[in-house]
Structure 1
Amino acid sequence: MPKVRLSGTVLGHDDPGRAVRARLLYLLFGAGWDIYNSNGDQRITLSNIERKIIEADSFVFTPGATLEDMFKAISIFVGYQTLDRNLAGKPTVILNTDFSWDPFFSVLDHLNKMGTIKQDHRDFLLTAEDPEGVLKTLELGREKGIPDAGRHKIGECNGTSFENAVPPDYAGNVCVFCSATLEDPSYLADGRELGRLLAVNRLGCVSGAGRSGIMGAVVEGSVGAGGWTAGSNVPHIIELEGLPDGLSSFWLRPDIYTRMEVMMENSNAFVIFPGGAGTVQELLALMIFKHQQNPLMTGKPVVLFNRSNAAGVRFWDPLINLLSNMCKPGDFVVANELDDILPAIRLGLPQRETVAV
């Protein structure tokens, strides 16, 4: 019997999505599906989400999209993008009868236009207009399989974990979440400059340890300026992107969720640079942890670099609009210019003198 993981929660008898979910459960059971999370009460954590993905054969998201629902949906999309073997042949369907998923889709469309998402999300996150459509779309998805994400291995995973202590005079570590695919020279220059600024201000640089795109540029800037530079990556992404040179510490992890967790553990502040679906995923994880008052995010500032491109389009405007209804003031701050990032970080770090060079 195939297993479908259902996402979303019914909030009491008056929830407008209650009838839709009940109809969906009835149809799925009748069609022979074994349903995980039928009551909507199972919690997903960074430690268990990969196991939940492995256990399921497909995924269905219901109306009433929450921050956690969007995190899970973007996580699956990132898995498709990075050729996660545990998602091979497993379709995802989103039931959007209340249009609550539209702002999320708008973010993905915007990032596709900005060049950080190469795929059309509609080919991977399938949508249905009613519960009956969910069943048809699930079966069609299982029949056709997952589309080609257009990515290919460039080598084997040859990384092993190693550790070098952070210098004692450092004020803290800053984790930079960003694109590993965008190759626009002006974005790469900003990435190198941020890495350099972190190093000369005695701030450690933590990243996803990718060799390409903005991520590779940030690492290059920090390493080139003699900074303590660390990162975490997973085997199947290393096969796609390789590893940068010069890292002070590297944490190899089995999946992207424990990768995020070790990056949070070893960081005191976070910068959200221009990025794609993976960067959105990482930001949503930070916001969820803040709302849960998770110790991993206590007192740690989050800065979104809402950079403007040559046409005057600010990179993160659609995402900021999405989060405006889901986050509280102070959950994150926005920096429109590169020079605004470090002052915003300093405001949230324990006071200690650092001098820019």
Structure 2
Amino acid sequence: MSFKPKSLCVFCGSRVGNDPEYVLEAKRLAKKMAEEGIEFVYGGGSIGIMGTLAEEVLANGGRVTGIIPDFLQKLEVGHHGLTELIVTDSMHERKRTMFERSDGFIVMPGGLGTLDETFEILTWKQLRLHDKPVIVLDCKDYWKPFEQLVDATIEGGFAHEGVKGLYNVAKNTDEVFESFKTIPSVQKEVLTSHL
């Protein structure tokens, strides 16, 4: 099925990482989202790849909604120049609000927080709590170990092979938008094989 999002949530790092290509790809993604009129929803930070995306979307005339828990806002890592900034009481509320405000999800390079958000949104999809697309933007093969881990869960007998259909993998921004044309349907066995 083809997919035309009005808003996309990007899970990504609060650091920029060791390879400048991560930031360059974030800028390409941000520019494309702004050009397509897609609202950028994210964790509300002003630092790292998060901050880069927000600045670039805004610089290109796009709309940015940040969602940040109060304790992080008090640490002054929240971005103060966004279209909209929502302050939540907890990390759980932050993730729920990002989910509710987004038509789909893109995963860029990031750390443990990015992994947490990614696995949770994939688990919710496995449990049929949503059918929104999840695109893993595998810039410079950053997410190769993630794919190997998913393969290991299948090979170890802890996941149905259909879990690979919970997400698409793209190598760059162009592939992200190309993948919107072919979002796979999730096999019911992805859930029922665990019951």
Instruction: State the TM-score, normalizing by the size of structure 2.
Output: 0.81
- Which of 54, 74, 79 is equivalent to 1:219? 54
Which structure dedicates a bigger proportion of its chain to helix? Answer: 2
**Amino acid in the other structure paired with 2:150:** L
Residue 303 in structure 1 maps to residue 142 in structure 2: no
Instruction: State the TM-score, normalizing by the size of structure 1.
Output: 0.45
For 1:134, the equivalent position in structure 2 comes to: none
* Total equivalences in the alignment: 171
Which stretches in structure 2 are left out of the alignment for 5+ residues? 184-195
Q: State the secondary structure of the residue aligned to 1:275.
A: coil
1:156-184, Cα deviation, whole Å (9 max, x unpaired): xxxxxxxxxxxxxx941010000011254
The higher-RCO structure (CA 8 Å, 6+ apart) is 2
Separation in structure 1 between the aligned mates of residue 76 and residue 27 of structure 2, nearest angstrom: 18
Separation in structure 1 between the aligned mates of residue 37 and residue 81 of structure 2, nearest angstrom: 17
- Which of 145, 148, 153 is equivalent to 1:321? 148
Separation in structure 2 between the aligned mates of residue 245 and residue 200 of structure 1, nearest angstrom: 23
- Contact 1:181–1:214 (8 Å) recurs in 2: yes
Larger radius of gyration: 1
Which stretches in structure 1 are left out of the alignment for 5+ residues? 1-169, 309-313, 349-357
**Amino acid in the other structure paired with 1:317:** K
For 1:236, the equivalent position in structure 2 comes to: 71
Q: 1:256 to 1:345 in 2, by over 3 A?
A: farther
**Amino acid in the other structure paired with 1:190:** E
For 2:187, the equivalent position in structure 1 comes to: none
For 1:341, the equivalent position in structure 2 comes to: 176
Q: State the secondary structure of the residue aligned to 1:329.
A: helix
**Amino acid in the other structure paired with 1:318:** P
Shift of 1:330: 1.8
Separation in structure 2 between the aligned mates of residue 171 and residue 234 of structure 1, nearest angstrom: 25
Aligned-residue identity in percent: 26
- Contact 1:192–1:219 (8 Å) recurs in 2: no
Q: State the secondary structure of the residue aligned to 1:330.
A: helix
Shift of 1:241: 5.3
Separation in structure 2 between the aligned mates of residue 247 and residue 345 of structure 1, nearest angstrom: 26
Shift of 1:246: 3.1
- Contact 1:177–1:207 (8 Å) recurs in 2: yes
For 1:332, the equivalent position in structure 2 comes to: 167
Q: 1:344 to 1:246 in 2, by over 3 A?
A: farther
Q: State the secondary structure of the residue aligned to 2:106.
A: strand
Q: CA RMSD in A?
A: 1.8
Correspondence 1:160-309 to 2 at 5 A: 171-184=5-18, 185-240=20-75, 242-294=77-129, 297-298=130-131, 300-308=132-140
Q: 1:186 to 1:305 in 2, by over 3 A?
A: same
